Amino acid sequence: MRRISSYSFPRSRGFTLIELLVVIAIAAIALTIVNLAFFQSHRTIEAVGEQRHTYQMVRIVMDRMMKDLICSYVPATEGSSRTLDEEELSLYRFTGTDEKDADTDLDSIRFTTAADLGLPGKTAGLCEVGYYLKEMESSQDRYVLIRSEDPLPHYGASESPQEMEVAENIISMNIVYVDQDGNEKDEWDLNEKLALPEQVKVTIAFDAGSQPFVFTGSAYLPLSELKLTVSPGEEG
């Protein structure tokens, strides 16, 4: 009679409590790493988005400033019989002021330009444009860039220009003026120089989180070769 051999399978051993705890701990660590990577990626995406927004804002602001400066205007008097007296000279401006708060550059500029924005209620043509910084109410040591515009003609600097905020979260603004001999000046006054600078360099630092964005724009002024002729004894 044939004997049937039997084979018994080994009984599977269940997980012990310690093994379950180890598995849970490993899963928790893995989940934490995944969450950290996700949130880090999310923060990176947000930072890139903020930087892109800042860059776009700066590009628009710089383009506007450079256009205004390139179109800086003074009348042609050199080589002609026309001269300006003190009152006529006060119709035109190009005044760059070097201002600081401790070591922070807070320069400002005001000038006559043909590049007006065509603001509502304003007639297109020559206008007086200014750029200056105003401290933000919500952030200490951060500034808003103000662009002012007032139509000409009027004698002396504008007292009631139309103003608009064109950028915020600015750390500093430095403006340098280059004369016909290549010398750099921290300030410029048309009444003293009787001419426009050949070049204007504007450097603005923006708060972009971990480190500032610093942008520099340069404008070459086509009318810088014109030298104003002022009546003797009538210079401003």
Could you read off the pLDDT of 191-211 as tens digits, one per residue? 999 999 999 999 999 887 777
Mean pLDDT score of the chain, rounded to an integer?
81
Provide the number of structural domains found in the chain.
1
pLDDT winner (highest mean) among 48-52, 115-119, 127-131: 127-131
Q: Range with the lowest mean pLDDT among 79-83, 91-95, 165-169, 216-220?
A: 79-83
How far apart, in whole angstroms, are the C-alpha atoms of residue 228 and residue 194? 5
150 backbone dihedrals φ, ψ, rounded to 5°? -145, 130
Q: Is 223 helix (H, G, I), strand (E, B) or coil?
A: helix
* Residues 100-127: tens digit of each pLDDT: 988 899 999 999 998 765 555 554 578 8
Q: Determine the pLDDT at residue 123.
A: 47
Q: Is 108 helix (H, G, I), strand (E, B) or coil?
A: strand
How far apart, in whole angstroms, are the C-alpha atoms of residue 168 and residue 230? 40
Within-domain flag for 34: no
Within-domain flag for 3: no
Within-domain flag for 37: no
Q: Determine the pLDDT at residue 236.
A: 43
Within-domain flag for 151: yes
Q: Identify which of 158, 166, 159, 95 has the alpha carbon closest to the alpha carbon of residue 128.
A: 158
Contacts of 75 (CB under 8 A, 6+ apart): 82, 84, 92, 226, 228
Residue whose structure tokens are 């035109």 = 92
Q: Evaluate if residue 135 carries a pLDDT over 80.
A: yes
Within-domain flag for 163: yes
Within-domain flag for 32: no
Within-domain flag for 27: no
Q: Determine the pLDDT at residue 88.
A: 85
> Residue 178: in which H helix or E strand, if any?
strand 162-178
Give the domain extent around 102. Answer: 51-225
Q: Is the peptide bond before 232 cis (omega within 30 degrees of 0)?
A: no
Within-domain flag for 169: yes
